[in-house]
Each structure stands twice: as C-alpha cells, then as structure tokens.
Amino acid sequence: MTAILAATAGVDTGDTAWMLAATALVLLMTPALGLFYAGLVREKNTLNTFMMCLGAIAVATVTWALVGYSLAFDGDGSIVGGLHHAFLNDVGFTPRAGTTIPQLVFFAFQATFCIVTVALVSGAVVERMSFGPFMLFAALWSILVYAVLAHWSFGGGWLQANGTLDFAGGVPVEMGSGFSALAAAIVVGARKDYGRQALLPHNAMFVLLGAGLLWFGWFGFNGGSGFSTGNASVLAFTNTLLTPACTLLAWFILDLIRGRQVTAIGAATAIVVGCVGITPAGGFISPGWAMVLGFLVALPSYYVVVWRTRTRVDETLDVLAAHGVAGLFGIVFIGFFAQISWNGAADGLFYGDAGQLGSQLVAALAAPAYAFGMTYALLRVLGALMPLRGSEREEAIGMDIVHHGEEAYASSEGAILLNPEVGPDARVPVAEPV
C-alpha cells in the first residue's frame, strides 16, 4: 500500500476521474461504429459488419498491450518508439510524463483510439473480405501502421518534433484509417455486384443511432485528449459540439442543392465528418473558427463521396471521404487558424506564423503516403499467403451465414443452406413456431 501511495504522488484525482470517463466514452465509439456500419450494408452482411468492429476490440487491445503502446509512446525515436513498455512493462500508477494521470489510465485511453481506428478500416472491405484474414490484418495493421503514426504525431516522433499540431489524432486515427481504407479497397477489390446494381443501406435507423452515439463518444475522444479538466479539454469539448452541428447544417444545404431532399444517411455522415474535422484542431482553435471549420469541411468530404461512387473503387462505406479527407482538412486548417491565446502552443498563418502551416502540410503529405503504402504492401503480402475474400457464391449468400452461421433477422422463410449442389438463393424450410 505504501508503494502504491508513493507511486501516485503527482496524480490529480479530478483529472484521473475525467480520463476514466473519457476512456469509457471512446470505447463506446466502437460498438457505435458497428451500428453505423451495419445499417449501411445489406441485410445479409449485418452481423459480419458489426463483428468486424467487435473483433477490433479484441485484437487491437491485445496488440496494443503487447507492443503497440510501447512502439507509440516509449522513447523519442524519430520513426518508431522502443520496446521498454512491451507487455506493459513499467506501466503503472505513476503519472505519465507531462500529465497528472496514472500511466495505466493513459495506456487505456490510448488503447481505445487504436481500437476504433482498426474498426474504421473495416468499412472499406465489408461485404466481401473474409473474417479470419481481416482479424490477422487488423493485428498487423495496428502495429505496423497505427502505432507508427501515433508515435510520429504525439509520441515524440518526427512530426511532433517538426512542430506538427495534432490534438486528438488527425494523423493516426483519421488520415491513417482513411487512406488505409483506400488501399484496402483497391487490393481486396470490388463487391461482385458493384456497379451492376444498387447496393443500398438496409437500416437507416441503425445508421442514425450509430452516428449519434459516435458523436456522444467523441466528447471523450476530443475532450479527453487534453488529459485533464483544464482549458484545453474544455475548449476541445465545446468545439466538438459546435463543429459537427455546423457540418450537419452545411450538409443539409448541399443535399438540397444536389437532390432537393435532406437525406438521413447524409445527415449521419455529416455528423461523423464534423467530428473528424475538429479532432486534430479541437484544442488549438477558437470556438468561432471551429464553427467555420464545420461549414468548410463539409465541402471536400461531400464531393469526394459523390466522386467516389462514379469510380471503380469500391471503398464500401466511404472511410476515405469521411475520415481521410476530413482529417487532412482539419490538420491543414490548424496551420491557418491556430491561436496561441487558445492553445498556448503556436499561431497559424492567419495570426502571423507561416511556419506552422508548413509543419501541418508536411503531416498532410507524409501520413497519407505512409498509411496507403504500408497498408497496400501488407495486404499484398497477406493475399499471397491466403485468400482475402470468399467465393462469389459465398458473397451472394452473405457474410453472416458464411462466417458466423447466424442471421441478423431470423425469418420463417428458412435458413440458407451452404450446399454446393444448391444455388445461392436456396433456403432450407424450417418448422413453423408452435
């Protein structure tokens, strides 16, 4: 007991309480993402899509504890951290350097970031990538891509040393997931029906509920990234309310201009885009600029969604547009409008410091290049060792039955039979309920 009390010297109980709550809020974001993604796919792939997000919790938590956390936050190597904290060595009750919270809490908070980022990437390959290969990919990606980018951005790596500002993960979470998703979609390939028939969301209410819960969790994601109950967290928390609201309004206007209707799927997407845009900038810009960011970030993301559907790239759930593009926009926006009076760190170009914009542009180029290149190479190697996706027949049946032996919505029509002599649309009759 004496040793524990000595270790907790310098720990602030109020800051720690807030960070414990913020950690729980961010963990909630992964099942919320599961709902969001599950509603966007076809009915036959509902469970599998959610399970990919649930699987990310298991895989990323373990890899983060084993080596990911250490590679991200041990030492100040320019490219990647060391292995001193591997297997949670020396991660205990003493405060994390530069904070007033125990390193165990810091570890857990950062773990939830890794988890949700891995889950985000699944949105590029749902409805056709096999569950087992995705789990292996998720484990390797969390180490080779996420941990490296996290080190670059806020673990003492070269971007941070170069002066890049990234409050809550614009580099490893948003650009990391978005541009990795693009690479994954290219390597895995399009769904068999892509471009030949409409592949429509099956449950808009799931999508809206998932988006609402994501926004709720994002208050912990951004608000917790100040690691205290101080001004930075308060500012980021408030900006997380303002920016998505403005993006939502801007998206309504864009929908009305383009199609004369305000769509529910568009509204849910707008909430995510706004949350993503403010993620890197939350503690660095004033509330007024946060509102401007909300309106402006809608434009590139909206038009990338529209453009992508006209291409042959089947990046299923538009992770690139919602996360990669919006995260890049937020990173660059800091270079223009960061303000010392709000962040205590640097001014942007608008306030007289052109150098900050240069630092942000370096990150906006380096992070997408690394995420795309490493993900592409990783999947190519895995694809040479095992099939990344099932057969066309299995895809036609649906990932739920093929990989989990269950259906999201039981029906009296029967269960699908996996029999090579029976067509993919065949069903086994089941007894009527007594």
- The pLDDT tens digits for 340-379 are 988 878 899 999 999 999 999 999 999 999 999 999 999 9
Q: Is 89 exposed, middle or buried (0-12, 13-18, 19+ CB in 10 A)?
A: exposed
DSSP state of 149: H
- Determine the distance from the C-alpha atom of residue 135 to the mean position of all C-alpha atoms in its chain, rounded to a whole number: 16
Domain boundaries, the chain: 2-385, 392-428
Decide: 272 and 321 in contact? Cβ < 8 Å: no
Size (the chain), residues: 434
Query: In whole angstroms, what is the distance from residue 180 CA to residue 380 CA?
Result: 13
3-class secondary structure, 321 = helix
How far, in Å, are 60, 132, 392 from residue 417 at the CA level?
A: 33, 21, 15
Enter the pTM of the model: 0.92
Other beta carbons within 10 angstroms of residue 221's beta carbon come to 28
Query: In whole angstroms, what is the distance from residue 150 CA to residue 375 CA?
Result: 15
Q: Is 146 exposed, middle or buried (0-12, 13-18, 19+ CB in 10 A)?
A: buried
What confidence tens digit (pLDDT) does each residue in 200-251 have?
899 999 999 999 999 999 999 999 999 999 999 999 999 999 999 999 999 9
DSSP state of 416: E
Regions of the chain where pLDDT drops below 70: 1-8, 411-434
- Class at the top of the CATH hierarchy for domain 2-385: mainly alpha
Q: How many helices (H) and strands (E) does the chain have?
A: 19, 2
Other beta carbons within 10 angstroms of residue 347's beta carbon come to 19
3-class secondary structure, 165 = coil
Confidence at residue 8, expressed as pLDDT on a 0 to 100 scale: 67
Confidence at residue 426, expressed as pLDDT on a 0 to 100 scale: 42
Sign of CA dihedral 418, 420, 422, 424: positive
